[in-house]
Amino acid sequence: MILIDGSYLEGGGQIVRTAISLSAVLNIPIKIINIRKNRKNPGLSNQHVSCVLAVSKLCNGKTEGLFKGSDTLLFYPGEILEEDFTIDIKSAGSISLVIQSLIPLSLLIKKTVEITIIGGTNVEFSPPIDYMEQITLKFLKNIGINFKIEKINRGFFPEGKGSVKLKLMPSKVKNLELIENTSKKINGIIFNQNIDESVSNRIKKSAFDELMKYGYDSRINIENTTGKSTGVGIFLWNNFLGSDFLGKKGISSEKVGKRAVDQLIREIDTKMAIDNHLTDQIIPFMPFSEIKIGVSGITNHTLTNIYVVERFFNVKFIIEDYLKNECNGYLIKTEKRC
């Protein structure tokens, strides 16, 4: 059994998600202690419970300590059950984070499994479902990870009620070296549910005008929908670099568009291939093959995931400064320990 300290560095829920996924893939029992010890509301939240339940359903796993507020969790993986199922987070908890927990299990399955997830598609402190579709999915396909995402409807805080179908397909990790970004193409989507369409139009104009100032042409679509929850926001992407911003009370539509553009331009200016949000999502796959990536920044999320992954594999992650061809970022690779 592998022991993992859930308070390491940021001590967030990502430790739980990554550890549970790798435990299932490698069929190694784990014990996680001090879960989110230093957070305002320590222990497991409903979001984390849902992630563990989803992985447990797929691998017929057994748990001890799986309840809201628990600071210790034991997980015993079982044999893969290739059956479709539904997970309801029962809040606006992030669907994207449940998807992150499930994707590595595509390395185990022999046939397609469809999982319906109900919760929040566009909520704070997690990748929007658009990021998962346009960046995570497309990158992971380059290394042989096969899955599809079908957004049924959007869910915003506090109601949630969004739904997404995740189709996991048999996968095997391939080698990849991707360091620099040369793409000049910027795409975007403005999502608006139950809010006047003029808000979408103002966000689009603000983002488009701001991108023009930086010398970028762009293609930004508007999606106006009705649903069981209300929200608005924007997601922009340039290859494997992304930026999003949710509308909030007290923040004008013009600022929503401008802030999303400013975030994306900071990523583009590094000239690195991968943004700092995708970086931590790639870490769990790197020990399975020879993967070398150039990233715009190193976050605590990335360092935390490296800690967890190194607990499972006889590898060491190497992070080096990368200052070539006007790039300003980092190179990440793995090497076997002696």
Binding residues: 100, 277-281
Residue 30 is which amino acid? I
Our answer to whether residue 48 is catalytic in this structure is no
How far, in Å, are 96, 162, 220 from residue 286 at the CA level? 20, 31, 33
Neighbours of 13 (CB within 10 A): 22
CA 16/CA 37 separation, integer angstroms: 12
Nearest to 21 by CA among 85, 81, 99: 99
Annotated binding site for ATP: 100, 277-281
**And the tokens for 212?**
């023009």
Q: Per the residue annotation, which of 301, 309, 317, 329 is the catalytic one?
A: 301
Residue 114 and residue 83: Cα distance in Å, rounded? 8
Nearest CA among 41, 169, 46 for reference residue 98: 46
Three-state secondary structure call for residue 213: helix
Q: Give the SS3 label for residue 89.
A: coil
Residue whose C-alpha is closest to residue 121's, from 180, 52, 179, 189 = 189
**Residue 224: C-alpha distances to residues 95, 111, 123, 193, 200 (Å):** 20, 35, 17, 6, 8
Phi, psi of 189 (to 5 degrees): -140, 135
Look-up of token digits 């970086």: 279
Give the residue numbers marked as catalytic: 301
